[in-house]
């Protein structure tokens, strides 16, 4: 199946392409399709925003479209930044400013009070109007200092509870490595987006036949 990956975020596109291609689908980016649409993400949940984006880009391209809305939820901050993760500091997509604001907000919190989770809602919208939405999470905590360069967004600040193994499965993240310090396979096996995409792939055959 040819799938439009509805994101302008280079890091997110890389992950979606890697996962969808591994599942046997051909992925087209918005740039490849010549689409410059920028729908307003007015939803109050990750699921609502994922559907808004999937619906808009599916209508614009005429292709099956996968859209993700994801973010970081910190327990001590009552779920912040949540659906505002990409624009937490005011400017959409300014990773450095978003990370700096998060670190400032958590400056007085000790290591035992820094629990957080990454959340992803992925919506597949078909041209006939049917849609399938799935959810994935990755629990962890916020680091005291950023580390790593293999990632984007809040990846240098997020320490997942577990990491993936080369032969499959996971193990405890005993080294305390951040998302941005993990190899792609280590991250895909435990990431919020990876979990959501696994659920999408598992549900897809019955959904397409319904």
Q: Domain locations in the chain?
A: 2-209
Residue 60 has pLDDT above 80, yes or no: yes
Tell me what percent of the residues of the chain surpass a pLDDT of 70: 100
Alpha-carbon separation of residue 53 from 68, 100, 129, 184 (angstroms): 8, 27, 13, 26
Q: What are the backbone dihedrals phi and psi of residue 40, each rounded to the nearest 5 degrees, phi first?
A: -75, 125
At 143 the pLDDT is: 97
Instruction: Name the helix (H) or strand (E) containing 75.
Output: none
At 192 the pLDDT is: 93
Q: Catalytic residue among 68, 69, 95, 188, which?
A: 69
- Is 94 part of the annotated catalytic residue set? no
Q: Rounded to a whole number, what is the distance in angstroms from the first to the last CA of the chain? A: 17
Q: Does the domain spanning 2-209 belong to CATH 3.90.950.10?
A: yes
Beta bridge partners of 163: 171
């Amino acid at each position: 199946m040819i799938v439009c990956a509805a994101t302008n975020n280079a890091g997110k596109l890389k992950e979606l392409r890697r996962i969808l291609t591994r599942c046997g689908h051909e992925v087209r980016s918005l740039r490849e399709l010549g689409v410059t649409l920028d729908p307003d993400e007015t939803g109050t949940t990750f699921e609502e925003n994922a559907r808004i984006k999937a619906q808009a880009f599916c209508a614009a391209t005429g292709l099956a479209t996968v859209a993700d809305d994801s973010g970081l939820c910190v327990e001590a901050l009552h779920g912040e930044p949540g659906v505002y993760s990409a624009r937490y500091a005011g400017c959409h997509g300014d990773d450095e400013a978003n990370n700096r604001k998060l670190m400032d907000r958590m400056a007085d919190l000790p290591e035992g009070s820094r629990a957080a989770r990454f959340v992803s809602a992925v919506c597949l919208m078909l041209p006939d109007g049917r849609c399938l939405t799935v959810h994935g999470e990755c629990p962890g905590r916020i680091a005291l200092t950023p580390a790593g360069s293999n990632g984007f967004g809040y990846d240098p600040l997020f320490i997942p509870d577990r990491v993936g193994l080369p032969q499959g499965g996971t193990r405890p993240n005993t080294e305390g490595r951040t998302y941005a310090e993990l190899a792609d396979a280590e991250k895909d096996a435990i990431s919020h987006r990876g979990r959501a995409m696994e659920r999408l792939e598992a549900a897809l055959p019955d959904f397409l036949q319904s």
